Every structure is written in structure tokens, then in C-alpha cells.
Structure 1
Amino acid sequence: MRLRFSAAKLHFVASAAQGGRLRVSMDGGAAQEIEVKWPTLYTLLDGETYGEHLLPFEAKMPGLSLFSATFG
């Protein structure tokens, strides 16, 4: 999935029944992996300055659920 947004911060509420890694690459930069398991808030971007961003992410885990996204 790819997400284009304008913000300084991006948070997701997500869970994965068996756990796994969500691979994200903000604006074409180096990929990061975020461990997703319990339903909780995960921070994907924690910047200071608002800007337009492109966030492609990839998950190769069964049962990934994304419940909401918040921007700041």
C-alpha cells in the first residue's frame, strides 16, 4: 500500500494476530521495519516540520489489521 499525506507526524493503530514486521520507506529513504503484534499505536513518522510525504509500506504477515491513522 502507498499513502500520500501532508503532516509532521503519522501514527497507526494496528495489530497482527501472529505478529510480524511492517516494512516502511518514507519518501524513498532507507526502509525501516516496525514490529507489529498487539493492538496499539505505532509511530511511523515523528517529525517537527509539516510536509508532503509518500509512505509505501509492505507487510508479509497473515492477519494484519489497520484500524486507524492519525496525523499531526
Structure 2
Amino acid sequence: MEDTFIIFSKGSRAYLGQYVAVMELKFFVASFINGWNLRLGKETTEEMMNQAEYFLAFPKARECHVVFDKADE
């Protein structure tokens, strides 16, 4: 599966900064999420969130309603 996900190319012409770029993306997502309180929306049920397939992990209903509340600082 990793061979089909080559956003930075492969081989001798691969992007040299790919590991730094991935690290920066993870840092950004973590710092963004840290400033919010997340909760499921009212329309999201437990049955909707059951896993439909085990190779690609996604909810059975193919949707997930998430509410972002600003975290108190």
C-alpha cells in the first residue's frame, strides 16, 4: 500500500525534504487540534461509526460529524 502512495516521488529524484515536510505536517495538525475541544455532532450515532472495511478504515456511514469548540486558555 505504501508503494501506491508516493506524493514525494521515489528513487533518485525523490524530494529530499520529505521527512521534514511530513514532520511539519504532523506538528501543524497536532498544534491546531490542541487549541480545540472536539466532540461528535448530535446527528452522529454509534452505528454510523462502526468500521465498514478493515483494509481502509472508514466509518460505515462514510461520514463523521465533528464539532470544534474553542478551547479555554
One fold, TM greater than 0.5? no
Q: Taking CA–CA contacts closer than 8 Å with sequence separation of 6 or more, which of the two structures ends up with the larger relative contact order?
A: 1
Q: Find the structure with the greater CA-based Rg.
A: 2
Q: Which has the larger strand fraction?
A: 1
**Which structure dedicates a bigger proportion of its chain to helix?**
2
